[in-house]
Amino acid sequence: MKVLAAMSGGVDSAVAAARAAEAGHEVTGVHLALSRNPASYRSGARGCCTIEDSNDARRAADVLGIPFYVWDMSDRFHADVVEDFMAEYAAGRTPNPCLRCNEKIKFAAVLDRALALGFDAVATGHYAVLRSGADGLVELHRASDDRKDQSYVLGVLTQSQLAHSLFPLGDTPKPLVREEAARRGLLVADKPDSHDICFVADGDTSGWLAEKMPDIVGTTPGVIVDEAGAEVGRHGGTLGMTIGQRRGLHLGVPAADGKPRFVLDIEPVSGTVTVGPREHLAVSHISGIRPLWAGASPAGGVPTECTVQLRAHGDEHRAVVTVGVDGVEIELLDPAYGIAPGQAAVIYDGTRVVGSCTIASTVRVTG
């Protein structure tokens, strides 16, 4: 099988490429250049947008003895991921750019080009497992190592994309992957993992947004109020603020009970941010849009018991999901906290990913 290995310059993608080659596939490595000017997004070897990462990927391909290319995906990445990220925050929502990158870049733009060039599949270093289902479809399951499981950020993939994907690391704990990289002579064996948004320098989302969008809604100062409408502080702009945020609010008026307060609502047009106690963040119902199904979609109008995950490496919540004409309704049997529109809800049946949707609105627990 002809396999295109997406090589970010990190240890995971390098070992994934090595395993694909060792399995007998005809492997070609490709590094995605996501910015024509790497310094415009971030510096240092912490993401997938740097010259250092490209060089690390090339050296790994040389060690493995596979062909290697760099594909310029900068325009597509900026339009589908970066601009979407900015627009979502400007609208008061909280996006997940990693999901959008998987959906629009790695398993859409890259996979489409790979298939057009005669490749059979794309291999990545994601931690997830693919299995053949009883219905003949490809199932996406959680990785064996819960701490590294990335099925949540892959929850946007469709059956046609899963059928042309390989995740060689899904059954291996991360420490063993590093040991294997060292045995194979890969210099990235000890390279640190990337944890931040790859295109936001030093993790300062608010500062990055303010720099990129100085004149857009959400950059002007506004008031922070309590649930009764009384002003308790001021902020420099709602960009980068998110539902459930506690740190960095600098409230001038303490709560009557002395407990911390959290962001409950954000109104980007008026610039008003409402804060309150943590218990008022509890969500019992979610309405989702843009559903994407990993296999056959659940029967419409039929309530189905399942679990949902609402953020990367977040807890699973027992839920009842109903698929409607316009989207997905999720009744949470276990309340969730700090859930914001724009985030993704990924639906599971045991370890299997059923599909995902984008959170459009939530209903808070009352009483």
Mean predicted lDDT score pLDDT of the chain: 89
As a whole number, mean pLDDT of residues 349-360 equals 96
Q: Which of 350, 338, 290, 332 lies closest to 314 in space, CA to CA?
A: 338
Q: Which residue has the higher pLDDT, 100 or 308?
A: 308
Say whether pLDDT at 179 is over 90. Answer: yes
Is the confidence at residue 40, as pLDDT, over 80? no
Strands (E), 193-303: 222-225, 231-235, 262-267, 272-276, 283-293
Please give the pLDDT value at position 99: 87
Are the C-beta atoms of 264 and 243 separated by less than 8 Å?
yes
pTM: 0.88
- Confidence (pLDDT) at 44: 41
What is the rounded CA–CA span in Å between residue 169 and residue 14?
Answer: 11
Helices (H), 91-239: 97-101, 110-116, 159-162, 174-183, 205-212
Per-residue confidence (pLDDT) for residue 326, from 0 to 100: 84
Find tokens 């984008």 and name the residue. Answer: 358
Residue extent(s) of CATH 2.30.30.280 domains in the chain: 217-280
How much is the pLDDT for 74? 87
> In degrees rounded to 5, what are phi and psi of residue 181?
-60, -40
Instruction: Return the H-helix or E-strand segment holding 11.
Output: helix 11-22
pLDDT band of residue 171 (cuts 50, 70, 90) is very high
User: 93-107, 251-265, 324-338: which has the highest mean pLDDT?
Assistant: 324-338
364 Cβ contact partners less than 8 Å away, ≥ 6 residues apart: 280, 281, 282, 283, 284
Average pLDDT (219-229) is 88
**83-90 and 205-212 are packed helices; what angle lies between their axes, rounded to 10 degrees?**
100
- Taking only the tens place, the pLDDT of each residue in 146-164 is 899 999 999 999 999 999 9
More confident residue, 300 or 22: 22
**Burial environment of residue 183 by CB neighbours within 10 A (0 to 12, 13 to 18, 19 or more):** exposed
The set of catalytic residues is 101, 198
Q: pLDDT at position 113, please? A: 95
Lowest-confidence region among 92-106, 123-137, 325-339? 92-106
Answer whether residue 48 shows pLDDT above 70: no
Q: Does domain 217-280 sit in CATH 2.30.30.280?
A: yes
For 260-296, b where at least 16 C-beta lie within 10 A, e where not — what string? ebbbbebebeebbbbbbeeebbbbbbbbbeebbbbbe
Of the candidates 86, 89, 87, 84, the one whose C-alpha atom is nearest the C-alpha of residue 100 is 84
**Angle subtended by helix axes 51-64 and 11-22, to nearest 10:** 20
CATH 3.40.50.620: which residues of the chain?
A: 2-125+168-203
Q: Which CATH class, in words, describes the domain spanning 2-125+168-203? A: alpha beta
Q: What is the pLDDT of residue 271?
A: 86
Of the pLDDT bands very low, low, confident and very high (cuts 50, 70, 90), residue 91 is: confident
10 Å CB burial of residue 314 (0-12, 13-18, 19+) is middle
Rounded average pLDDT over 71-95? 86
Residue 188 vs residue 238, higher pLDDT: 188
Range in 141-150, 238-247, 336-345 the model is least confident about: 238-247
For 297-300, the CB contacts below 8 A with 24+ separation are 297/323, 297/355, 298/323, 298/354, 298/355, 299/323, 300/324, 300/325
Asked if residue 360 lies in contact with residue 288, where contact means CB atoms within 8 angstroms, the answer is: yes
At 288, which amino acid appears? G
CA-based nearest residue to 107, from 90, 85, 124: 124
pLDDT for residue 43 is more than 60: no
**pLDDT greater than 90 at residue 354:** yes
CA 260 to chain centre: 28
Collect contacts of 256-265 with beta carbons under 8 A, ≥24 apart: 261/226, 261/232, 262/338, 264/227
Query: What is the 8-class DSSP label of residue 106?
Result: I
Instruction: Please report the pLDDT score of residue 37 as a whole number.
Output: 59
Structure tokens at 86: 């900015």
pLDDT at residue 321 above 70? Answer: yes
> 11-22 and 174-183 helices cross at what angle (nearest 10)?
70
Six token digits for residue 177: 């992957």
